[in-house]
Amino acid sequence: MTSSPLIEARGLRYRYDDGTAALDGVDFQLFPGETVALFGPNGSGKTTFIHHLNGLLAGEGFLRVCGLTVEKRNLAEIRRKVGMVFQDSDEQLFMPTVLDDVAFGPLNLGRTPEAAVQAALGALEQVRMQRAAAKAPYHLSAGEKKRVALAGVLAMEPEVLVLDEPTTFLDPPAQRDLAALLRRLPQAKILITHDAAFARALANRAAFFENGRIVADGPVADIVDRFHWEPSATAAPRP
């Protein structure tokens, strides 16, 4: 690839207060247009890693996101460029209506109320949820909540989408709908997932985390076969 990486980590390390080495020298790159699945057992460092991408955690080593080093003075811009979609959509939906929820991010960026509403309506149209604009989020199905949470991120026009266990709580039809939606979006994507089938449907490549390191990086099918990574039917949501 000739383009510069949107995310570049070299030798990234992080140790929790109790002494646990959660990251132990992670090297990773994400290029424009790519979708990369992050596999690995619970506690292997995947979530700790993505929390570094928008400055929620700060470890040692080199980390650059969308051309910016991850440091305090750049965090506001980085958090606009990297959109996080949580495992549990209820953690992101807290306003009285869907439109209010999706407009919250643009308002927080300093847009006028009118501009924030227009951005929100455009994002809801992207995820095909514009008809739900006036609904209360708690009236939505799990799949609809996931789409609205995604719209809230898209309204801030990110360059990278990071999705943590995006198929959690979704039935098979909703999983297929989400995969089709994500394929249409132009942003580079990182998926933390236990769902090999979902990763195969979306990702260009996969990285496998183990004991705070990326121990393999390559085509999704190769990583799935090498690590016998087919736990999606029995995987439970992480606490």
Would you say residue 143 lies in a domain?
A: yes
> Which pLDDT belongs to residue 234?
36
Q: In terms of DSSP H, where are the helices of 109-229?
A: 113-126, 142-154, 172-184, 196-202, 220-227
Would you say residue 186 lies in a domain?
A: yes
Would you say residue 233 lies in a domain?
A: no
Q: What is the reported pTM? A: 0.90
Would you say residue 238 lies in a domain?
A: no
Q: How many domains does the chain have?
A: 1
pLDDT tens, position by position, 167-215: 999 999 999 999 999 999 999 999 999 999 999 999 999 999 999 999 9
pLDDT tens, position by position, 67-106: 999 999 999 999 999 999 999 998 889 999 999 999 999 9
Instruction: Spell 94-129 as b/e; 16+ CB within 10 A means b.
Output: eeeebbbbbbbbbbebebeeeebbebbbebbebbeb
> Which pLDDT belongs to residue 20?
86
Residues 39/209, Cβ–Cβ less than 8 Å: yes
pLDDT > 90 in the chain, percent: 87
Would you say residue 237 lies in a domain?
A: no
Would you say residue 219 lies in a domain?
A: yes
The residue range of the domain holding 218 is 7-227
d(CA 183, CA 180): 5
